[in-house]
């Protein structure tokens, strides 16, 4: 990725907590990242690692309470989204930032036609008349590859298959030409052959429309095919971030390394036994004071239990939050130089 | 064949599972959803047969029909040369301990009001007459086998994580020393790092106890890891069945080819150069399958004959079965 281009989205020190009866849950802990124009950032992590919550916090989609964005700064278009009024936020959602949700069945309204749901953002945000919106809605459905678009606009969501519904979701997210598109596990609920269709579609749309995309997934294979940069999350923190080929070939965080090893492949060598990450993901009861991965880590040593590692540069545009230096196969020593 | 085929443990022939569609006030029978349509296969003792396919292709229904959790419409299933489908209620009950099931969703398949010990012990209550002490000893033994801490025996399912809950489900299935276990998407609800733990456990148990699995999954890479032979289902029918390695190296049926090419690979360089076969459209409704070959509406290699006659499922190479007109000539 060329440096220098101003990021369209710049997040720093984001902290989100949930207040529950059992106490606070620290779902997102000091997450910082940026998104440059036209780039596709893949966000990988297990369920509960905070990837969806991070993205929902950005544009105020979390119900408050129980959620509370406690700290941080989200710069988009010269504004801090965390300090916007609800009306300002509404103006950003749609033309500024589009969102594709994971489950196309529950995120489309079952009692309105697809055409109505497509026209709604166009008329609200773009100031179109109903007739103009109708024309544009048809174009959008054609853009995402739904045949017989004009007639399909009159159909309800239940008349579409899973893959087609996800295409409708994408069409709605694209309706107002957003600068940033956030896709939250858009293919997880779909079958592999349909997933392949959607991935091809996204590649095509990126070339045509050139927007920046954040793609949340737990499937490393999906990321490998489409992302420019990848961000790995664990226990509510970013543990590794870098260009996709760097992270896949030279992973510098033990969690990323283990994750890459546990996934079997349909091609190449077949291992006799799968390597596993022992143990369970952490429960985020308190603000982190130690490395969240230490209990499951093969490299863990005493420092990991007393201090939470900060993200340290490990290569060009590549950083990892770990005290272990995999090149030297020893704890990192030259920390002072970066501090 | 990989090795000399052992004794056939499960023989399924011509299995059909139709769900009736009714309409009107009088619930008139107007059609059938052909969830499983004429499926035949054999599972040998000690092997794992992987059953893969997209959602809605009938793989779970097939697994359940084999254990007679549904009443199949037609066909025969023999387990250890005893007919499951013809058995009356009492005989079936005697056969149950031999065949068990691990369900997809460990959250939904464990009773939230029962403790772990009660869940694992329930099959023992039903089918054995162990004393209280022996029963508890057996429960502890099972918990050790699946890697659950004995101290947790009196806890409730909600206190466990997804991976641990699946272990409880596995322990329950093992309680009566079964020969055959149907694993219905046992890892689909789990996180990537936990999936490997459960799959390794299933493999270990198989080695130790000589179990036979029918492993149902939509995850082709995991099936490649665990299965000895793989059956691919599409719209209620098995369209290809082959030993694992030949199937993954050189899939014969155009659907298997497309399915394998659609699986993304965690390697950015390979992903850039790889050519995917993109299938057009969606799976047709099983209530109204197309005429001829079920796959003819999406097949990239469709021919005239595919829209007219249904291909037969037959052996094209030793141990490799396929239902496709492309390979029909070689048979005769």
Model confidence pLDDT, tens digit, residues B203-236: 999 999 999 999 999 888 889 999 999 999 999 9
Q: Are residues A299 and A178 in the same domain?
A: no
Whichever domain contains B22, its CATH number is 3.40.50.300
Q: Residue B68: helix, strand or coil by DSSP?
A: coil
DSSP string, B222-281: HHHHH-SEEEEEETTEEEEEEEHHHHHHS--SHHHHHHHHHS--S-HHHHHHPPP-PPPS
Q: Does A266 touch chain B (CB under 8 A)?
A: yes
A64 pLDDT exceeds 90?
no
Whichever domain contains A147, its CATH number is 3.40.50.300
How many domains are there within chain B? Answer: 1
Q: Is position A69 within any domain?
A: no
The domain in which residue A44 lies consists of: 37-54+78-235
Contacts of B55 in chain A (CB under 8 A): 162, 191
pLDDT of A38: 87
Q: Are residues A89 and A206 in the same domain?
A: yes
Going by their DSSP bridges, the two strands B212-217 and B48-52 should be labelled as parallel
The domain in which residue B26 lies consists of: 8-331
DSSP string, B112-139: TTS-HHHHHHHHHHHH----HHHHHHHH
Confidence of residue A51 (pLDDT cuts 50, 70, 90): confident
Task: Tell me which H or E stretch contains B22.
Answer: strand B8-23
Q: Is the peptide bond before A66 cis (omega within 30 degrees of 0)?
A: yes
Q: Does A75 touch chain B (CB under 8 A)?
A: no
Q: Does A194 touch chain B (CB under 8 A)?
A: yes
Q: Are residues A283 and A196 in the same domain?
A: no
How many domains are there within chain A? Answer: 2
Q: Are residues A259 and A180 in the same domain?
A: no
- Sign of the CA dihedral B250, B255, B261, B266? negative
Could you tell me which residue, A59 or B216, shows the higher pLDDT?
B216
pLDDT of B39: 92
pLDDT of A239: 92
What is the residue whose two structure tokens read 């290569």?
A315
Q: Chain centroid to CA A278: how far?
A: 26
Instruction: State the nearest Cα–Cα gap between A269 and chain B, in angstroms.
Output: 10
pLDDT of A336: 43
Q: How far is CA A208 from CA A15, A177, A203, B83, in A?
A: 35, 12, 9, 60
Q: Are residues A214 and A257 in the same domain?
A: no
Contacting A residues, span 275-314, partner chain B, CB-CB under 8 Å: 275-278, 280-281
Nearest to B267 among A224, A259, A276 (CB): A224
Q: Does B152 touch chain A (CB under 8 A)?
A: no
pLDDT of B48: 94
Q: Are residues A204 and A246 in the same domain?
A: no
Q: Does A258 touch chain B (CB under 8 A)?
A: yes
Q: Which residues of chain B register pLDDT less than 50?
A: 1-2, 330-332
Q: Are residues A153 and A259 in the same domain?
A: no
Q: Are residues A155 and A228 in the same domain?
A: yes
A161 pLDDT exceeds 90?
no
Q: Are residues A225 and A257 in the same domain?
A: no
Contact A262 B195 (CB under 8 A): yes
Confidence of residue A22 (pLDDT cuts 50, 70, 90): confident
Q: Are residues A230 and A303 in the same domain?
A: no
pLDDT of A1: 44
A338 pLDDT exceeds 60?
no
Instruction: State the nearest Cα–Cα gap between B134 and chain A, in angstroms.
Output: 31
Least confident segment among A9-13, A23-27, B267-271, B314-318: B267-271
ipTM: 0.77
pLDDT of B4: 52
Q: Is position B3 within any domain?
A: no
- Kindly report whether the global pTM for this prediction surpasses the value 0.90: no
Confidence of residue A290 (pLDDT cuts 50, 70, 90): confident
Q: Are residues A196 and A291 in the same domain?
A: no
In sequence order, the β-bridge partners of residue B61 are none
Q: Are residues A309 and A219 in the same domain?
A: no
Q: Is position B2 within any domain?
A: no
Confidence of residue A286 (pLDDT cuts 50, 70, 90): confident
Q: Is position B199 within any domain?
A: yes
pLDDT of B23: 85
Q: Is position A213 within any domain?
A: yes
Q: Do B102 and B183 touch, CB atoms closer than 8 A?
A: yes
Q: Does A149 touch chain B (CB under 8 A)?
A: no
pLDDT of A3: 53
Q: Report pLDDT digits (tens) over A195-254.
A: 888 888 888 888 888 889 999 988 888 888 889 999 999 988 999 999 998 898 889 999
pLDDT of B287: 82
């Amino acid at each position: 990725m060329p440096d220098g281009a101003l990021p369209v989205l710049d997040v720093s020190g984001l902290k989100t907590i949930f207040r529950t009866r059992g106490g606070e849950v620290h779902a997102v802990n000091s997450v910082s990242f940026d998104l440059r124009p036209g780039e596709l950032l893949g966000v990988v992590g297990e369920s509960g690692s905070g990837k969806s919550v991070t993205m929902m916090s950005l544009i105020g989609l979390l119900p408050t309470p129980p959620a509370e964005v406690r700290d941080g700064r989200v710069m988009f278009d010269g504004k801090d989204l965390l300090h916007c009024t609800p009306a300002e936020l509404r103006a950003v959602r749609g033309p500024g930032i589009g969102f594709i949700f994971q489950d196309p069945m529950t995120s489309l309204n079952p009692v309105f036609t697809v055409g109505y749901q497509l026209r709604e953002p166009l008329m609200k945000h773009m100031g179109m008349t109903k007739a103009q919106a109708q024309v544009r809605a048809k174009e959008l459905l054609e853009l995402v590859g739904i045949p017989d678009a004009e007639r399909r606009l009159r159909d309800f969501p239940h008349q579409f298959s899973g893959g087609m519904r996800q295409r409708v979701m994408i069409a709605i997210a694209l309706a107002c030409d957003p600068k940033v598109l956030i896709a939250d596990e858009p293919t997880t609920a779909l079958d592999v052959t349909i997933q392949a269709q959607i991935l091809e579609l996204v590649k095509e749309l990126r070339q045509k429309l050139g927007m920046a995309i954040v793609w949340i997934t737990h499937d490393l294979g999906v990321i490998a095919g489409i992302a420019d940069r990848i961000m790995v999350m664990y226990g509510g923190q970013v543990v590794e971030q870098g260009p996709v080929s760097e992270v896949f070939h030279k992973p510098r965080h033990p969690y990323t390394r283990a994750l890459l090893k546990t996934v079997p492949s349909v091609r190449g060598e077949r291992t006799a036994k799968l390597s596993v990450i022992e143990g369970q993901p952490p429960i985020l009861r308190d603000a982190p004071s130690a490395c969240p991965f230490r209990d499951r880590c093969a490299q863990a040593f005493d420092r990991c239990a007393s201090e939470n590692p900060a993200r340290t540069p490990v290569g060009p545009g590549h950083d990892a939050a770990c005290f272990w230096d995999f090149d030297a196969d020893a704890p990192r020593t030259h920390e002072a130089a970066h501090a | 064949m990989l090795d000399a085929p052992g004794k056939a443990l499960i023989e399924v022939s011509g299995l059909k599972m139709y769900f009736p569609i009714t309409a009107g006030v009088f619930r008139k029978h107007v059609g059938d959803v052909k969830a499983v349509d004429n499926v035949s296969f054999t599972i040998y003792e000690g092997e794992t047969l992987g059953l893969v396919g997209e959602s809605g292709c009938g793989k779970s229904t097939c697994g359940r029909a084999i254990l007679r959790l549904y009443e199949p419409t037609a066909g025969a299933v023999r387990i250890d040369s005893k007919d499951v489908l013809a058995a009356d209620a009492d005989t079936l009950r005697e056969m149950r301990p031999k065949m068990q099931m691990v369900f997809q969703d460990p959250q939904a398949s464990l009773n939230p009001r029962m403790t772990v010990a009660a869940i694992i012990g329930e099959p023992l209550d039903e089918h054995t007459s162990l004393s209280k002490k022996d029963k508890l000893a057996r429960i502890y033994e099972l918990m050790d086998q699946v890697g659950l801490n004995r101290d947790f025996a009196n806890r409730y399912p909600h206190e466990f994580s997804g991976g641990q809950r699946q272990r409880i489900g596995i322990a329950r299935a093992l309680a009566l020393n079964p020969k055959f276990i149907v694993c219905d998407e046992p890892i689909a609800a789990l996180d990537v790092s936990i999936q490997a733990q459960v799959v390794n456990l299933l493999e270990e148990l198989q080695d130790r106890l000589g179990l036979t699995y029918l492993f149902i999954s939509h995850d082709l890479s995991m099936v490649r890891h665990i299965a000895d032979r793989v059956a691919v289902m599409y719209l209620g029918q098995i369209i290809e069945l082959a030993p694992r390695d030949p199937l993954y190296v050189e899939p014969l049926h155009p659907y298997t080819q497309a399915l394998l090419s659609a699986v993304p690979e965690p390697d950015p360089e390979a992903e850039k150069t790889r050519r995917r076969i993109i299938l057009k459209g969606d799976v047709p409704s099983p209530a109204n399958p197309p005429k001829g070959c079920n796959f003819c509406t999406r097949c990239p290699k469709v021919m005239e004959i595919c829209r007219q006659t249904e291909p037969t499922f037959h052996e094209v190479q030793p141990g490799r079965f396929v239902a496709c007109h492309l390979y029909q000539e070689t048979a005769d």
